[in-house]
C-alpha cells in the first residue's frame, strides 16, 4: 500500500491520532504483528492499547 493511502485511511474507523515513528525490537515487532493479525486489529491499535494500560489512560466517554 502506498504511503499516501495509509494517511488517508487510519483504520477506516474515523480514528484521530498523531503520526510518529517508533523503532521496535525485532522480536517485539513480530509478536505485535502476530497479535494484530490474530485479533484482526492494526499494529497501532495493539501498541496504543498496551501503552494506555501502562500509563493508565482512560478512554473518553462517547456523547449520546
Distance of CA 14 to the CA centre of its chain: 13
Using one digit for the tens of pLDDT, what is the confidence trace for 13-53? Answer: 666 788 899 999 999 999 999 999 999 999 999 999 999 99
**How far is CA 49 from each of CA 52, 59, 64, rounded to the nearest angstrom?**
5, 10, 24
d(CA 34, CA 28): 10
pTM over 0.95: no
Query: What per-residue confidence (pLDDT) applies to 24?
Result: 93
Amino acid at each position: 500500500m502506498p504511503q499516501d493511502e495509509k494517511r488517508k485511511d487510519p483504520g477506516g474507523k474515523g480514528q484521530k491520532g498523531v503520526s510518529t515513528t517508533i523503532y521496535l525490537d525485532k522480536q517485539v515487532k513480530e509478536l505485535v504483528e502476530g497479535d494484530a493479525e490474530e485479533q484482526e486489529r492494526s499494529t497501532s491499535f495493539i501498541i496504543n492499547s498496551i501503552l494506555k494500560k501502562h500509563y493508565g489512560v482512560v478512554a473518553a466517554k462517547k456523547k449520546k
